[in-house]
Chains A and B, each alone.
Chain A
C-alpha cells in the first residue's frame, strides 16, 4: 500500500456556517494503481487532491505515504515530499510559467532535484507522452492545450514520482485529445509503477480508465469498487442516481 488516507476532514466557512468539503474520507492507493475519484462538481474531489498535495491542511485525519505520516509537512520539507508526489493540473496553459519555454520549466525541476537523465531516457519519455521534441522550445501559449498537458505530464514524470495526482487533467482538452491523453497517463503510470489519483467528473472516462473508482458526494466516499462493480452493479442509491443521469 503506497498511499493511505484515513478519516480526512477539511472544513470551510461559508456564510458563517462551517461545512465539510471533505468529510471523514478514507481510501488507499497502491503502486501502479489508477484510482479515479468521481463525483459531481463540488463533491470535494479537488479539495482531497490539494490536501494530499499539501496545498492546504486538513482539520483531521491522516495521510500516510509509504509508511510515513505526511499529514502536515512543514514548509522546508515540502521539496522532499514533492520528489514523490507530482501533480497535473486542470488548465495546462496556466500550469506553465508564461515567460519560460516548456523546456526551461521541465529542466528546472530536473535540476532542482539533481536528477540525471541520459539522452535516451529523455527521448523515451518524450515518446511516451507523444510530444514532438520541437514543441519544448515554445512558450505555453504557443502550443495546443493537448500538447501543453503532455508537457505537464512529462514534467511530472521526469521527477520519477511515486504518486501522480491528476485533477481534471483532461477536462479542459477537446474531446478528440481527451481520451488519448487519459490513456497516455494510464500507460505511463502502469509502466513506471506510479500510483495515480485521477480526479474527474466524467463518469464515462472513469469507467474506461480506472482500476478502481471511488464515487464522492458531499465530501464522503459513497461507494468504491472496480468500474465493473460500480457501473453494472451499483449498490448505493446515490450511485444509481448518478448513473441514471448519464442515460
Chain B
C-alpha cells in the first residue's frame, strides 16, 4: 500500500473508530448521556467525570461522545443524499439536451443562490425546528454544487467516441449515464462529498446552536454549546468540550478528504 493510501485509510479508520465508540458508548462508559444528578451539577473535570458535568449533573464525556451520533450520522447522510441527488441531476443535464434540462439548470441556479443559514431559518420558521428539518434544509441547499460539478465533467464526455460507440452497441440512455459516464466522474464527486461533510457538520451544529436544529435534551454539540452559553465564565468546560469535539471532527473529515484528493491525483497522473 502506498503512503498516500495508508494516510487515507488512517483517517478513515480514525473516523470509523470514533463513530463505533460513539455508538457503543452506552455500554462502555459508567454514565449515560441523559443521566441527571443535580447533586453533582457543574463539577469541573475530575477523576470520576473526566470532562466534568453540566448544569443537570450529566457527564460531559458521555454526552459529547453520544453527540457524535446525531451530528456525524446526519452530516454523512445529508452529504450522501445531496451528492446522490445532485449527481443524478448533473448526469441528466450533462447528457440530455432538451427543455427539461433547461428547466433543471435554472432550478439548480436558484437553489445554488440560497444562503444555507437563511434558508434553514425559513424552513424552521415554516415547518418548525428539529434534526430532520435542519438536515433537510441543508441538503436542499447542498445538492446543486454536485449538479454543477457533474455536468461540467459530463459535457466533454458526451462528444467522446466511446459514448457514441456505446450508443451503437445498444446501450440505452440511462445505462450510458450510469454504466459508461458515472464511473468516470465518481472520483471528484466523492472528494467533494468528503470535503462537504466537515462543512455540513458545522452547519448542523450551527443550526442547533440557534435552536433551529436538534432540540435539548438530546445530546448534540451545537445545542449543548447553546444551552451552556451563560456558563462560559463559571463552567467553561460545558462550552469548550462540545466545541472542541466539533473542531476535532471537522478537522478529521477535512484531513480524510484531503488525503482522498491526494490519492485521486496520483491515480490520474500515473
Contacts and interface: CB of A to CB of B under 8 A. Distances in A.
Q: Which of B160, B170, B183 has the most CB of A within 10 A?
A: B170
B165 A89 contact: yes
B169 A155 contact: yes
B166 A97 contact: yes
Given A98-B184, A99-B183, A99-B184, A108 B169 contact: yes
A9 to B, nearest CB: 21
A152 interface: yes
Interface stretch (A15-23, A37-45, A75-83, A185-193): A75-83
A147 B102 CA distance: 42
A94 B169 contact: no
B24 interface: no
Contacts of B184: 98-99
Interface in B131-189: 160-162, 164-173, 180, 183-184
Contacts of B173: 75
Contacts of A112: 169-171
Contacts of A75: 173
B165 A159 contact: no
A94 B160 contact: yes
Nearest to A91: B161
Interface in A44-84: 53, 55, 75, 78-79, 82-83
Interface in A75-112: 75, 78-79, 82-83, 85-87, 89-91, 94-99, 105, 108-109, 112
Q: On chain B, which size bracket covers the interface?
A: 10 to 19
B161 A89 contact: yes
Interface residues of A, number: 28
Contacts of A109: 168-170
A97 B164 contact: no
B165 A152 contact: yes
B172 A96 contact: no
A91 B165 CA distance: 12
The B contact surface, by secondary structure, is helix
Nearest to B160: A94
Contacts of A55: 164
A77 B116 CA distance: 44
A105 B179 CA distance: 11
Contacts of B169: 82, 105, 108-109, 112, 155, 159
Nearest to A113: B170
Nearest to A115: B170
Nearest to B170: A112
A83 B167 CA distance: 11
A76 B183 CA distance: 24
Contacts of A85: 168
Nearest to A99: B183
A94 B167 contact: no
Contacts of B168: 53, 82, 85-87, 109, 156, 159
A95 B165 contact: yes
Contacts of A90: 161
Residue picked from B162, B172, B173, most chain A C-beta under 10 Å: B162
B20 to A, nearest CB: 33
A204 B173 CA distance: 40
Nearest to B179: A108
A85 B164 CA distance: 12
A113 B170 CA distance: 6
A82 B169 CA distance: 7
Contacts of B165: 87, 89, 95-96, 105, 152, 155
A98 B168 CA distance: 17
Contact of B162 (A94, A113, A156, A159): A94
Nearest to B168: A82
Contact of A78 (B161, B162, B167, B183): B167
B187 to A, nearest CB: 11
Q: Can you list the 3 inter-chain pairs with the closest CB atoms, starting with the nearest?
A: A112-B170, A109-B169, A95-B161
Interface of A: 53, 55, 75, 78-79, 82-83, 85-87, 89-91, 94-99, 105, 108-109, 112-113, 152, 155-156, 159
23 contacts: A53-B164, A53-B168, A78-B167, A79-B170, A82-B167, A86-B168, A87-B165, A89-B161, A89-B165, A90-B161, A91-B161, A95-B164, A97-B166, A97-B180, A98-B162, A105-B162, A105-B165, A105-B169, A109-B170, A112-B169, A112-B171, A113-B170, A156-B168
Given A75-B173, A79-B172, 10 more contacts: A53-B168, A55-B164, A82-B168, A87-B165, A96-B165, A98-B162, A98-B184, A105-B165, A105-B169, A112-B171
